[in-house]
Amino acid sequence: MTIQWFPGHMQDTEKGLIQAVSKVDLVLEILDARLPCSSANPFVDKLSRKTTRLKILNKQDLADPDVTVRWLDYFNQTLECPAVSITGTNRTETIKALNFGLQRVTRNKARKAKVMVAGIPNTGKSTILNTLAGKKVAKTGNVPAITRHQQRTSLVNNVDIYDTPGILWPVIEPQSRAYILAASGAISDTAIDYTEIAFYISDWLLTHYPDALMARFDFLESLPASSEALIEAIGKARGCLKKGGIVNLQKASELLIRELRSGKFGTISFETPEDIDI
């Protein structure tokens, strides 16, 4: 199955962002700390080429902390691209990140600073905006593409911040990148096959985080030999059954993916600087 999800509003958003970025001082590119490479839209690179940018690895509370440190070193040292990691609901961390970005901007301090928040769907852009504002000014949720239009909020420190709709790119390659984007929740569930995604992610978990699997599914007596065996075991133990006791692979797959997204496997990272070609 080829996974692609590029609704019409995303194309319109790209056009709007091109016009808007020329008017801002700083672009905060929000990435998912669990997949900083796959959650980076190449369009944002092009968009912010002439504008000061800060990469923010959000959801660090869900990511493997050791891997996050390596990503920050990669961005800051190897690519010489400023990056920080935060948990978007933590006000101290989000304000510190914003101020770090603003310190890199050369501007007339007498006027308001204009900041754009950009990135792919479901990386926590609206959550970060709400945290910075100290109140709910943007809709949030566990599904992608809730924000459909640019929203401006004035902060108390003479900053106007713009929340922008999440945008992907028309062709996501390789498919392994599409799979982990789907598993993270960045792609609408209407565009994916839960079973196919779960089989891919199960193989990945069995290889990279076997201890996390055993800890979460404590009914397992030993590590399953394959993704199919794992999903079968989950289905039997969690009651995802059809008539005759046959495992409902769709329901078992949905359960696995939803628990993965919610952090119930502990802190994990889907990719590292060492095993991915930026």
Instruction: Determine the length of the chain.
Output: 278
Between these two residues, 188 and 258, which has the higher pLDDT value?
Answer: 258
Output the six-digit token pair for 249: 């692979």
Residue 220 has pLDDT above 90, yes or no: yes
> What pLDDT is attached to residue 110?
73
Residue 7 has pLDDT above 60, yes or no: no
Could you give phi then psi for residue 31, rounded to 5 degrees? -115, 160
Q: So what's the architecture of 8-163 in CATH?
A: 3-Layer(aba) Sandwich (3.40)
Domain ranges of the chain: 8-163, 193-261
Mean pLDDT computed over every residue of the chain: 87
Output the six-digit token pair for 31: 């990435």
pTM for the predicted model, two decimal places? 0.87
Between these two residues, 39 and 107, which has the higher pLDDT value?
Answer: 39
> What pLDDT is attached to residue 64?
97
Output the six-digit token pair for 225: 């030999």
CATH of region 193-261 = 1.10.1580.10
> What pLDDT is attached to residue 143?
46
> What pLDDT is attached to residue 180?
92
Q: Tens of pLDDT along 137-163? A: 866 555 444 444 567 889 888 899 988
Q: Tens of pLDDT along 36-62? A: 999 998 888 887 888 899 999 999 999
Q: Tens of pLDDT along 252-272? A: 999 999 999 999 999 999 999
Answer yes or no: are the C-beta atoms of 61 and 88 closer than 8 Å.
no
Q: For every residue of the chain, which 3-state class applies, written as one string?
A: CCCCCCCHHHHHHHHHHHHHHCCCCEEEEEEECCCCCCCCCHHHHHHCCCCEEEEEEECCCCCCHHHHHHHHHHHHHHCCCCEEECCCCCHHHHHHHHHHHHCCCCCCCCCCEEEEEEECCCCCHHHHHHHHHCCCCCCCCCCCCCCCCCEEEEECCCEEEEECCCCCCCCCCCHHHHHHHHHHCCCCHHHCCHHHHHHHHHHHHHHHCHHHHHHHCCCCCCCCCCHHHHHHHHHHHCCCECHHHCECHHHHHHHHHHHHHCCCCCCCCCCCCCCCCC
Q: Tens of pLDDT along 62-74? A: 999 999 999 999 9
> What pLDDT is attached to residue 11?
56
Answer yes or no: are the C-beta atoms of 180 and 38 closer than 8 Å.
yes
Q: How confident is the model at residue 273 (pLDDT cuts 50, 70, 90)?
A: very high
Residue 237 has pLDDT above 70, yes or no: yes
* Least reliable range by pLDDT among 36-45, 93-102, 106-115, 164-173: 164-173
